[in-house]
Structure 1
Amino acid sequence: MPLIRFDLIEGRSDEELATLLDAAHEAMLEAFKVPAGDRYQLVYQHKPAAVRIEDTGLGIERTQNVLIVSITTRPRTREEKVAFNQLLVEKLEQRCGIASSDVMINYVTNSDEDWSFGHGEAQFLTGKL
């Protein structure tokens, strides 16, 4: 059920994007223990001039592969988030060649009444999920 948004600089091929989405889904399945069909991912591509991701004084160098991953989700434990973060950067580096220094992750947490998967129903509240 997490909704994952990827903001990146345009220029990746369809195959590269598919690999990126698959790697992120695998990390989510492992860290959050959600069902395999629980996949909601969006990619937003931006012109290089429209992206400024600096390092907040941490000395992190970014490249054109910079990627912001925003996860909208029901509450997750600290352990789940730490596991997801680590699994994600490992899988992105292994499968996509994206350095961990190029990956910025943030979470937006909401509650069950904030989700409708269709038909205007709040399926978490109705018990369908």
Structure 2
Amino acid sequence: MPLVKIDMIKGVRTPDEIKHLADVIQEIMLAKFAAPPRDRYQVITQHEPYELIFEDTGLGLQRTDKLILIQIFQQGRSTQQKQDVYAAIAERLEKECGVPKTDLVISVARNEKEDWSFGMGRAQFLTGEL
């Protein structure tokens, strides 16, 4: 079950545009990471322009106010799955949401079953509830 954090600059997108962007990312999590249906955990945070500082790391990329940072916390996806997610997100967000590929930064981090509690103070992956 991926946890997806989406950071963007405040006031650039409407609520409907943000919802569509989040929906597209969820569709990709289902398709490329084989996340189970109804396994949607997303946190969307909007920042003042001066609160997101992303240089181009020497790649010559031009950033705009459409910048999006996506952080995905997940368990056990392969290098190929991660590369497929990067490509699918870049392609679909550019096509459907107007996010230039130069304004997209994605980071995937691995965590383990013991790193999750979905409530009630229990680690449901470890207790067998999930």
Query: Could you tell me how far apart the structure 2 residues matched to 1:75 and 1:62 are?
Result: 31
User: Are 1:37 and 2:20 an aligned pair?
Assistant: no
Count of residues in correspondence between the two structures: 129
With the length of structure 1 as denominator, give the TM-score of the two structures.
0.95
| DSSP 3-state at the match of 1:28 | helix
1:118 is aligned with what amino acid? Answer: G
Q: CA deviation at 1:94?
A: 1.5
Classify the secondary structure of the residue corresponding to 2:44. Answer: strand
In 2, the alpha carbon distance for the partners of 1:20 and 1:5 equals 12
Question: What SS does structure 1 have at the residue aligned with 2:99?
Answer: coil
Question: What secondary structure does 2:122 align onto?
Answer: coil
1:108 alignment partner in structure 2: 109
Q: Distance in 1 between matches of 2:23 and 2:37?
A: 11
Q: In structure 1, what is the Cα distance between the partners aligned to 2:54 and 2:83?
A: 21
Superposed, 1:54-93 pairs within 5 Å as 54-93=55-94
Q: Which amino acid aligns with 1:71?
A: I
The aligned residue for residue 124 of structure 2 is 123
TM-score (norm 2): 0.95
Q: Distance in 2 between matches of 1:37 and 1:90?
A: 24
Shift of 1:100: 1.1
Secondary structure in structure 1 of the residue aligned to 2:54: coil
- Runs of 5+ consecutive residues of structure 2 not aligned to the other structure: none
Taking the aligned partners of 2:102 and 2:129, their CA distance within structure 1 comes to 40
How many angstroms apart in 2 are the aligned matches of 1:65 and 1:96?
A: 10
What is the rounded CA distance, in whole Å, between the counterparts of 2:29 and 2:85 in structure 1? Answer: 6
